[in-house]
């Protein structure tokens, strides 16, 4: 993937998130990470009481969402219509979860935007990341959001590295992406829309849209 292909307009259909007004003002998705908390607070306070529950400080849950009693939800957080948050999910703040999503058992979320119809259903960790419309993470797949050397994160593109200036950066996952079970998306990963990542993969760069990623040396176009 080249840097131009990692623009928000290339990765995401903004009509499928309440963050559309926020994201459309930015060029690259990682630029949004620092403002997720503030944006949730801004729109949360405008949500109509007839449709939304407000069970805790800075937490808004749509009345049609199903949040299991054993789930932990800390604000600021918005959980959209029709979304299911299952047994022992751990949402520890700054999470904007869209409509008809699945946040599964023992899944942990932190500083994220999940577009509508995202599924993170089994033992996933998603931190400092944005997941596009209908993105799915297989069981046990995670976003690693801090480098082992604790240095600032750069994104590795075909046309050169792009320094982000931030320390915590998980993954930017486009619309309709499939992440295979047990995979690790290393800090600064970008996955183009309609791409599939094989199970047990370790992703360390920006992947083109419409591809199948098998390992670091094998990237196959779906048409081949």
pLDDT in tens, 84-121: 999 999 999 999 999 999 999 999 999 999 999 999 99
Please identify which of the residues 62, 122, 136, 156 carries the catalytic annotation: 122
* 3-221 homologous superfamily: Hexapeptide repeat proteins (2.160.10.10)
| Cα 15 versus chain centre, distance | 16
Q: How confident is the model at residue 214 (pLDDT cuts 50, 70, 90)?
A: confident
Question: Does residue 217 or residue 16 have the better pLDDT?
Answer: 16
CA distance 18 to 165: 26
Phi, psi for 149 (deg, rounded to 5): -90, 0
The distance in angstroms from the start CA to the end CA of the chain is 18
Query: Does residue 62 have an active-site annotation?
Result: no
**Kind plus residue range of the DSSP H or E element containing 128:** strand 125-131
Query: How far apart are alpha carbons 111 and 35 in whole angstroms?
Result: 9
Whether the predicted pLDDT of 194 surpasses 70: yes
Which residues lie across from 220 on neighbouring strands? 212
Q: What is the rounded distance in angstroms from the CA atom of residue 39 to the CA atom of residue 163?
A: 24
What pLDDT, on a 0 to 100 scale, did the predictor assign at position 216?
64
Per residue in 199-209, pLDDT (tens digit) is 999 999 999 99
What's the pLDDT score for residue 218?
A: 60
**Contact present, 203 and 143 (Cβ < 8 Å):** no
Would you place residue 1 in the very low, low, confident or very high pLDDT band (cuts 50, 70, 90)? very high
Contact call for residues 129 and 146 (beta carbons, < 8 A): no
Domain boundaries, the chain: 3-221
Q: Which residue reads 């993937």 in tokens?
A: 1
Strands 59-62 and 52-56: antiparallel
Q: Are strands 108-114 and 196-197 parallel, antiparallel or unpaired?
A: unpaired
């Amino acid at each position: 993937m080249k840097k131009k292909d990692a623009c928000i307009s290339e990765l995401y259909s903004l009509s499928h998130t309440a963050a559309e007004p926020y994201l459309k003002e930015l060029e690259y998705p990682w630029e949004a990470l620092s403002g997720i908390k503030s944006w949730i607070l801004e729109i949360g306070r405008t949500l109509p009481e007839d449709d939304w529950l407000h069970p805790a400080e800075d937490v808004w849950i749509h009345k049609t969402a199903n949040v299991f009693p054993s789930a932990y939800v800390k604000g600021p957080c918005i959980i959209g219509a029709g979304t299911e948050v299952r047994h022992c999910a751990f949402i520890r703040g700054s999470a904007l979860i869209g409509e008809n999503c699945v946040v599964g058992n023992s899944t942990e979320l932190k500083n994220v935007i999940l577009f509508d119809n995202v599924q993170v259903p089994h033992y996933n960790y998603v931190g400092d990341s944005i997941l596009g419309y209908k993105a799915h993470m297989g069981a046990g797949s995670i976003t690693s959001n801090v480098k082992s050397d604790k240095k600032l994160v750069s994104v590795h593109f075909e046309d050169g590295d792009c320094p982000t200036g931030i320390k915590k950066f998980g993954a930017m996952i486009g619309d309709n992406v499939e992440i295979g079970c047990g995979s690790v998306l290393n800090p600064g990963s970008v996955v183009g829309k309609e791409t599939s990542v094989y199970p047990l993969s370790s992703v360390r760069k920006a992947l083109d849209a419409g591809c199948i990623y098998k390992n670091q040396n094998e990237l196959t176009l779906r048409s081949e």
